[in-house]
A and B are shown apart, each in its own frame.
Chain A
Amino acid sequence: MSGNPTILSSRVRLARNYQDLPFDVAGKPDCAAMCVARTAGALKLSGNDEGFELLHLKDMGDVQRASLAECHLISRDLMRNPDVAAVLLNQQDAVSVMMNEEDHLRIQAIRDGMALQEAADACFRVDDALSRQVSFAFDEQLGYLTACPTNTGTGMRASLLIHLPMLTLLKQKGSVGQIVAKVGLTIRGVYGEGAEALGNLYQVSNQVTLGRTEQELISAVTAVGHQLTDMELALRDKTLSTGRSALEDTVYRGLGLMKYARCMPLEEFFRHWSGVRLGAAMGLVPASLSALDALLIQVQPANLQAMTESAATGHALDEKRAQCVRAALAGIDVKD
């Protein structure tokens, strides 16, 4: 089994701003252009620009932009100002420097599984390379100054994408919320608009950014990630002994539908995907967790459109999704 039983990915981002520019550059193209030119120039001058590509959102199509957001390489917020927004992207290393988002810079890195330290180190390398060349808005008392006071200080948000199907099913999310809030973190659903977290996927991240070191924040998020994992795995073990047949039924039904359905809306996909990932993590389904995690990203609307080179939407897109899911699970068979 490759991949983590609960934690899909770790992400760290740092908010940074230039001392001499207004935070909001949406209506100020000169300032926005200066932010991009300065950042790209500084990265190049530092000699750390290998693998980075400068992309202006205004030069990209809607599908390409949305696809990068679905891969978590840029934020949804970056797409709000496509006229001025840009990103220095190292796709290979999953490191991006978003420019002209809420802050001038959002330096971000993603790693698979539980690897917040590695993600943070990748961000720090870029941060150091840039801060050798440029002046960031920094105050001795308040640390890095950001557009919103919720990011002031370290400007760092460390988050885990975590799969908690059993905790959700057994409605223990209330106690999860309490654990998380007690140590200054937040938990929220990642996909979907409403209260329900599609795919039972949650994001745990630090809420506090000021007065703690980056290491303290990473440790806090990591500790809660481990704690939630322990709770989830304990419930999974318990279910194997007390409710195995109901669990197997859910997992294998989901697998059957994913293997053979001809049309699969995204919400339905999330439901079956969650069951099959749970089954794979518990050894009921011989599928690789990292392949299932990759599938989750592949079947998002813009990625599907990009991959199939079609502008299909609605039912036609749901058919393409089903096709993609069938292909991914073609070799997965369960012995009775």
Chain B
Amino acid sequence: MLCEECKVNEASYTLSVMVGDEVTTRHLCGDCMAKMNMDIASGNIKSLLSSILSAITGNDTPEEKQAEVVCPRCRTTLSQFTKTGRLGCPACYEAFHEQLQPMLLQIHGRVQHAGRRPLRTEVAQRNRTLREELERQMEQAVAVEDFETAAALRDRLRALSEKEAAQ
């Protein structure tokens, strides 16, 4: 079987792309497969993307279909993404979900994040409000020379700082 990419060499690799429950396969020669892996390594994912799109749409010139998908937030189209290999905004991940999922699987081998998470802003906000309130109460306690209460409040503030540091 000929390589579906260069249409010159004998295909020796099978690239399986899974979209939903459907598995589509592309047959590539060693050169085209190596080129694709090199491209991925250097951050150039155009060839991989067009290959995947071809597999999904079943033809080699999927531009017509691509033009239909547009990110509602930044107006980046799927064909722009295919051309540049760069997404327009975080919302593009949702808009191009169907095309991105197989590509991410091909690049990373897995599609479930396992790493660090951002310290959520709402947690920080909650802690900030609490800290301000405790500081205000502590100032009041000091003003009326209630040092026992002030010390207790100081300990709570310390505990809050430690908790934040641990997070």
Interface residues of A (CB under 8 A from B): 17, 19, 21-24, 102, 124, 127-128, 131-145, 147-150, 152-154, 156, 181, 184, 186, 188, 207-214, 216
Q: Residue of B at shortest CB range from A139?
A: B93
Contact A150 B110 (CB under 8 A): no
Does B85 belong to the interface (CB within 8 Å)? yes
Selected contact of A23 from candidates B86, B110, B113, CB within 8 Å: B86
Beyond A24-B86, A208-B109, whether A149 also contacts B104 by CB under 8 A is: yes
Q: Residue of B at shortest CB range from A46?
A: B124
Query: Size band of the B side of the interface?
Result: 35 or more
Contact B104 A152 (CB under 8 A): yes
Contact A149 B100 (CB under 8 A): yes
Q: How far is the CB of A39 from chain B (nearest CB, A)?
A: 14
Beyond A23-B88, A156-B115, whether A210 also contacts B108 by CB under 8 A is: yes
Q: Considering the chains assembled together, what is the distance between the CA atoms of A102 and B42 in angstroms?
A: 14
Contact B113 A143 (CB under 8 A): yes
Q: Considering the chains assembled together, what is the distance between the CA atoms of A211 and B107 in angstroms?
A: 11
Contact A145 B93 (CB under 8 A): yes
B90: which A residues are within 8 A, CB to CB?
Answer: 17, 19, 23, 137, 139, 145
Contact B111 A133 (CB under 8 A): no
Q: How far is the CB of B126 from chain A (nearest CB, A)?
A: 11
Contact B108 A153 (CB under 8 A): yes
Contact B87 A149 (CB under 8 A): yes
Does B142 belong to the interface (CB within 8 Å)? no
Q: Residue of A at shortest CB range from B165?
A: A128
Q: Residue of B at shortest CB range from A134?
A: B121
12 more CB-based (< 8 A) A-B contacts, given A24-B86, A131-B120: A23-B90, A102-B86, A136-B118, A142-B111, A143-B113, A150-B43, A154-B115, A188-B42, A210-B110, A210-B111, A211-B110, A212-B115
Contact A140 B113 (CB under 8 A): yes
Beyond A184-B109, A212-B110, whether A135 also contacts B121 by CB under 8 A is: yes
B41: which A residues are within 8 A, CB to CB?
Answer: 186, 188, 207
Contact A150 B93 (CB under 8 A): no
Cβ < 8 Å to A, chain B residues 52-111? 74, 85-90, 93, 100, 103-104, 107-111
Does B8 belong to the interface (CB within 8 Å)? no
Q: Considering the chains assembled together, what is the distance between the CA atoms of A127 and B119 in angstroms?
A: 9
Contact A213 B115 (CB under 8 A): yes
Q: Considering the chains assembled together, what is the distance between the CA atoms of A328 and B88 in angstroms?
A: 48
Contact B86 A150 (CB under 8 A): no
